[in-house]
Structures are given as C-alpha cells and as structure tokens.
Amino acid sequence: MTLIPDPTPTRRPSRAARRARTAAGLILSLVATLLGLLLVTFFIGRIVPIDPVLAVIGERATAAQYAAAREALGLDQPVWMQFLIYVRDALTGNFGTSILTRRPVMEDIARVFPATLELATIATIFGVLLGIPAGVVAATRPGSWIDQLVRLVGLAGYSMPVFWLGLMGLLLFYGILGWVGGPGRLDSGYEMMFEFDVPRVTGMILIDTALAGKWDIFRNAVSHIVLPAGVLGYYSMAYISRMTRSFMMNELSQEYITTARVKGMPEWRVVWVHALRNVMVPLITVIALSYATLLEGSVLTETVFAWPGLGLYITNALFSADMAAVMGGTIVVGAVFVFLNMLSDVLYRLVDPRARS
Amino acid sequence: MPSTLWFRPAGLALAAAMMLGTAPAALLAATPEDTLVIAAQIDDIVSIDPAESFEKSGGDLINNVYDSLIELVPGTSELTGGIAESWDVAEDGVTFTFTIREGITFHSGNPVRAEDAAFSIQRAVKLDKTPAFILTQFGLTPDNVDERVTFEGNTLTILIDEPVAPTFVYNCLTARIASVVDKELVLENEVDGDLGYEWLKSNSAGSGAFRLLTFRPNESYVLEAAGDYWRGDVQLNRVFVRHVPEPATQRLLLERGDVDVARDLTPVDVEGIAGNEALKVDEAPAGYIYYLALNQKVEPLNNPAVIEAMRWLVDYQGMADTFLKGQYIPRQSFLPTGFLGALDETPYSLDIEKAKSILEEAGVEPFTAKLTVRNNQDRMEIGQALQNTFAQAGITLNLSVGAGAEVLGEFRGRQHEITLQSWGPDYPDPHTNASTFTVNPDNSDEAGLTGLLAWRTAYEPGELQEMTEAAVRESDADTRRAMYEEIQRIHRDTSPFIPMFEEVDQISMQANVNDYHPGGGVDAATYWLATK
C-alpha cells in the first residue's frame, strides 16, 4: 500500500490559538516560578539555625509555653507536611500570620508595599528622566568633558554606599538647609491628618491625598519623598545612563545613521528619534530591571529614612525568623518581577514593529 | 551638532526635578502643640494585650492606656493606689483583699468594677502567655483561678498558695499583666472562647489616661487623652510614637524640631547634641543587667579558679568610659539600681596579673572558649574588648555572633560555652532577678527549666536557693533588704555569672518637654504628666 500524502496543507494555528498558547505558556512559567520561589524560601527558612518560636515567646517562656507556641505555629508537623499546608493555604490567598505583627501577612504587605511602590516609582522616574538624556548626550560626544562628567557621576552613584549617601543627603538638605521634609512619609502633624481625614484608596499617600483633594498633605508628602527617591533615583540614573551610553554608541555607528546624516536630517532628529528609538528595546529591559530591584525595597534607604516599606518589613521578618512574612514578601517580589517581565514584553511590541509581526 | 539641541530634554528633566525638590520646603511644620511626638525603635512590640505584652515598647503603650490594681508613683519604685484604693492581707498571710475605687470608668464608658479586676487576672492566667508566671507563681492556675480570684461588691480577693512578703505580691500587681481590662467590652469581642485575645492584639479596653487611637505594627501608634482621668489632668491631647529605626535619623528629627523626644540616640549622638541649648538629655537606669554566663557543663569553665580569674579580666570601667559611654555603668550584682537590696559595690576591676596568678596557682593551662554574642553593635564591641583582655591571661575567646533568637536558642538549650546576655526585671521586686539567677531545683537537661538563668548555664546554686526562698517570705523590709544584699554578694563571688553593666536610658528631648518619665528599670514610660 502506498502512502498518499494528505492533500490538505498544514494549517497554521489561528491567531487566537497562538495567543492562547502564549498565555498558557506564560501562566505555566509563572506558576513554576512562584512554586520554585516558595520551595526555596521555605527550605532556607527551615535550614537557618534560628528558632521562630523564640521570636514569639521571648526570653522568659517555660518549656510548656514553648511547646504550645510551637504547636500553634504548626512547627510540630513533619517538614513536607508543613510545606504542603503552606502551598495549600497560599493557593487560597492565605499566606499565614506574621509572628511578629500577629496579623495576616497579606494585610501587612498591603500596608507596606504601597510605600515602596510610591518610592520606587518616583525614583525610577528620576532615574529615567536624568539617566537617558545623560547617556545619550555622553554617547554623542564620547571622550568630551560631558562624557567624562556623566561617567564620573555614574561611577560615584555606583560606589557610594546608599546608607552614607542617604544620611549625608538628610544632613544637608533636611538638617542644614531645610529644603526637604525629614525622615518618614509625612510630618507628624500631617501624618495624623492623613490617618484620620484621608480615605485609603491605594495606600500611596501622593495618590490618596490627591484624590481627596488634600493638597497641603500632598505637598508635605512630596517634600518627604523627594530625597529618598532622589537617592534611589541616583543609583538607577547611574545604571541607566551607563547602559544608554553603551547602546547609543553602538547604534550611532550603524549605517542607517550615516545615511540619515548624509541625507541632511537634522542631528537632533537623528539622535533623539532614530537612534534612541532603536535602543529603546534593550533600554526597556534595563529600566524594568532597575525598577524591579527598587520594588524589592531598599532596606538601607528605608532604614535611614524611616520609610515603612517592603524591604524593611522583609528584613525585620528575616532577622526574627518570621518565615510566613518572609515567604509572603518573597512571593510578592517574585510576582513583581514576573509582572514587569510581562510589561516589558508588551512594551517591546509597542516600540519594535518586528515584535508585532 | 548645536549644543542647545541636546541639552533641551536633559535641562527640562533637571528643572522638573529641582522644582519637585524645593517647592514644598516652606511647608515644614514643627510638632503639633497638643501632641507629644516621640521617635523610638518600637519594632520589638509583639503584642499590645496586657496578658501577653512583655517587651519594653509595648510596656510604654500599655502603661498609658491601662490602669493596674496598684501603681508606681511615676519615676519611683514607691507603691500608690491604682484601680484599688486600698489593700490588705489577712493574718493567714495568703488572703489579700483590694477595695476598688468608685467612680472610675473605662474608655467605653463602662464602670470599672471589682468584677473587671477579677476577670483580668483570671483571663491572664487562663491565656497563659509568657508573662503569666508573674501571677501563677502565687499558685494560681487556669483550673483554680476562678475560685482563688473572686469579687464581692467592690472588693477583690486573691487567695495565694503560701505566705510570702506582702510587698512581693503588691509589687507583682503593678506589672502590666495585672492591668485591668474592660470585661464587657472584651467579651463582646470574644471569638470561640478566646477571651478577646484576637481582638486585643490591635484594640484596647482600658481605663488609663489615653485611649489607643491607632496602632500600626513597626510603624507608629497614636494615643489620645481619654478625658477626665481620675489620677489628675492629662496635659497633652495626643501622643504620637513613630518607629524610627536609625539613631542618626532620630537625632536629625530631634534637631530639626520634628519630634519632641528621641529614645535611642547612640553615645556619639548624645555627645553631638550636648552643645545644643534647645535640647536636653535625661538619664534613667534602664534596669537591664549585662552579664556573662559560663556553661558549667563545659571544661574548664566549671573550674572556680577560672571563673574567679575571669572576673578580674573584664575592663568594666574602661568600657564604660569609652565606647559604652553614658549608656552603661559598671554593675557587679544582679539587682538593678532602685530595687530593694540593690548593691552599688564594684569590688572587681581589670587586673591581668592577678588573674594570671589565680590561673597559675590552680594549674590551669591556656585554653580556648567560644563567646556567643548577639549581632548588636554594643555587644559585639564588648565581646571584642573581652577577647583582648582575656587573651592577655592566656584565654583565647572565639567570638560567635548571631541573631537574637539564635543566640537565645543556644543559651536556652544549654549549648553555649560563654554567652553575653542581658536580663531586665519583670516586676519591681528583687525576687524577679533573684528567682532566675539563684534558683535551679533540677539541674538535669531533662528538667527543661528554660525560664531559669541558673538552669540554662547549669549552675547549682546550693544554699543560695534556700536563701532566696527565705527572702521572698520575709515580711520585714529591712531584714529582707539585708538578705538580698547577702545573696548578691555570695552570687557575685561564687556563681558562674559575671555581671558587668547596667544599661542607662538616655532620653533626648526638646528643652521645653517636662515631666516625661521614661520608666527606668522598674516601670514603663508615663505620658500623662508630660508637658511641652
């Protein structure tokens, strides 16, 4: 018997099917990433030689109180059972109760994350607004004084400890010059006004006060966020400007740039429209990574500026072996990375026509 | 390329950033006139339920929101009436009665009754959280507390199991676990018979000078004057306590006038503000004793000559004068300043030669031991100083630094060799420290008496234990004082504990803040008398 080839040509899957497949792949990778995160954090938590029970009961507890607390935390179960229980609860959105604050971890994170989100967003805006132009300018004039200046500023941004920079910034702009608000998200008086007079919508003070039309609190919040965001933004600026410079140097040596120049296109258009647009794809990744790093929470900045954010929360939890809080925080950070990854993908499609086809 | 073109976007961005940064400068405000704003490290608060709270910062909150049966006169260890206006003990020595003050109300408006006082003690004993031992040491158990703590009319009766010094009972009743909670309100919020435990984690049910307005763990809490306080007029309308983890940041806030009080400045910061006339620093003993514990299961740390030599190898004064300046003072006995029987004697000082000769006479060869300390700046520096002086007498100390819970876990498990620890009193009676430093009824590992420091370091106190048990029964104050003095001397010279320092609280504040009582070693902070 002769095998006759099927006369109907293989049909390409429809656009909807392709999308569904992409989405399924994305969800699968998301689930795998989060599960992996859970697994690693959970077991690290079990390996560290810190007893979480002691963090709850303190120095004086008797052996009986210790045993009772251990049982209440579920630590008397076998490790694999503890993990399964944890995953089961996590799937229903229950990340357990923090042993330090005695509140559901998700409630805690919902409280601290907006503070970090607000700070990281403004810092990233600083970083992008200053870093990209600085990188572009440096690339257009390699070796010039301006290039050296950008390099120097960038290098300083990388090398100076954030703790020191934050303290010095506070000392100068808050302590001596009085140009900005001090540590914390608001002055004490405004903080109480915010507490009692402003409905919580997002937990981000700038947005909530703007929505409520409380512009005096809003302005006070701006005066408080500008310095920590500036310090963090400086770091992200240093990174973004160096990367922009290197991408642009590469792009400006391309033939199409020479062609454009030969055709008499104005230089600003060559640089800011043609070349910059082409480096946006790798730049988006750089910016997203930098943003994600800030969203993890910068512990040192949050400590210096008494900023009650995610970094401080997770660090406190780690020191106290508050593993429910550590794992909840890790999942949130992991989810942020995954989300920003997806966002970068979407943005690629917007700026790069090839990615759309 | 014309330079103006490529400067445009950068210039705009820079200008925007500058405007954001400088525009709101004029809006900065000092602290509100009717509010005391305090910067402190309050991330130690685990609970704000009086039946469970046991940390320093939580004590400050509870002391101002709740009243106890008996109170301490702020800034002293003198007893005064609280919810109970008078109290007495029957001739049997075990029946204590308290007459409840009439006319006091809780913040909810409910009257404060003997029934509430009885419920509060019963609740604390039944919940059996860490501080419950302050009450259960009188023979109260979850099973018998309803029969032993009773009320009739406005009289509360507590029946204890055996006669003790009455002041010991009264002192214990000033502790925050004996705070009186609003029975009706708490039971209204009870879930599954939890005696309001879940609800009181973030709410309050007291009759104190202030009501709790908000509590955000690791961030802040706000108290508001409850109005018509029975102990006198509350001077300020609100108290706002902000968590500021970094001492240098606390200092800046204080210097700029954005907080009225800063609780945690380092010695360097305190020195730094010394010339500032707008600020002042108050000092009060913090009650914490810093000591070394030598595990008696480990050779040669159980050799009395080694322990004796080590007492001469600590540079008590040198450390207190340099990196611990102002915040620790030498203390060589286990009771803090202000306690009945507290000893100010400091017979030991750094004497390398003497230590060497003690070791030589006892035929002790040079040896190595592990010293465990918490990862806290002061403690690590103390550890390094000890390393230096011990080495001069042939004792090599290997410093092992760990997180608080890790170091504590090792100590509680009797796994340490030498450990640097601190101990703060639980209630203003000498028995609080005597009962842990000198009592160990069963030195076996299986006994698991983790609450007793003597057990943790495998120390058999011998006659000291009986002396402590006798002292707590002694009703004559002078005799009792003499007994504790003797106990401490024997303990100081023979036990494997080397008390070194007492912590001093340095509270920095605006010069216009008055009558802010930080509490010291015996009490928590009192806000209601403070003015500014």
**Per-residue model confidence as pLDDT tens digits over B324-353:** 888 899 999 999 988 999 999 999 999 999
- Between A60, A103, A126, which is nearest B451 by CB? A60
Give the CA dihedral A118, A124, A127, A133, nearest 10 degrees.
Answer: -120
The answer to whether A205 touches A309, Cβ cutoff 8 Å, is no
Which chain A positions have a beta carbon within 8 Å of B5's beta carbon?
266-268
Number of CB pairs, chain A paired with chain B, less than 8 A apart? 206
Q: What interhelical angle do A15-47 and A323-351 show, nearest 10?
A: 150
Which chain A positions have a beta carbon within 8 Å of B409's beta carbon?
49-51, 54
The interface predicted TM-score of the complex, written ipTM, equals: 0.75
The answer to whether A209 touches A217, Cβ cutoff 8 Å, is yes
Distance from CA of A194 to the nearest CA of B (A): 12
In B366-440, alpha helices (H)? 377-391, 404-412, 431-437
Asked, colleague to colleague, whether B67-207 and B285-505 share their fold, the answer is no
Three-class SS of residue A27?
helix
CATH number of this structure's domain B285-505 = 3.10.105.10
Structure tokens at B269: 């910061």
Give the CA dihedral A64, A67, A73, A74, nearest 10 degrees.
Answer: -140
Stated as kind and residue range, the H or E segment containing A54 is helix A52-57
The domains located in chain A, with CATH, are 34-91 (no CATH), 106-314 (1.10.3720.10)
pLDDT, tens only, A90-142: 777 777 778 777 778 888 888 889 999 999 999 999 999 999 999 999 988 88
Contact B448 A63 (CB under 8 A): yes
The domains of chain B are located at 67-207, 285-505
* Secondary structure (H, E, C), B55-94: CHHHHHHHHHHCCECEEECCCCCCEEECCEEEEEECCCCC
What's the CA gap between B293 and B80, in Å, rounded?
36
> For the whole model, what pTM was predicted?
0.81
Shortest CA distance from B26: residue in chain A: A179
CATH number of this structure's domain B67-207 = 3.90.76.10
Distance from CA of B159 to the nearest CA of A (A): 24
Closest alpha carbon to B401 in B421, B430, B372, B377: B372
- Between A108, A136, A188, which is nearest B240 by CB? A188
Tens place of pLDDT per residue across chain B (532 aa): 333 333 344 444 444 444 444 444 334 447 888 899 999 988 878 789 999 888 888 889 999 999 999 998 887 778 899 999 999 999 999 999 999 999 999 999 999 999 999 999 999 999 988 889 999 999 999 999 999 999 999 999 999 999 999 999 999 999 989 999 999 999 999 988 899 998 998 899 999 999 999 898 888 999 999 988 988 889 899 999 999 888 888 999 999 899 999 999 988 889 889 889 999 999 888 889 999 999 999 999 999 999 999 999 999 999 999 988 888 999 999 999 889 999 999 999 999 999 999 999 999 999 999 999 988 788 999 999 999 999 999 999 999 998 777 788 889 889 999 999 999 888 889 999 999 999 999 999 998 888 899 999 999 999 999 999 999 999 888 999 999 999 999 999 999 999 999 999 899 999 999 999 888 777 888 999 999 9
Asked if B19 has any chain A CB less than 8 Å from its own CB, the reply is no
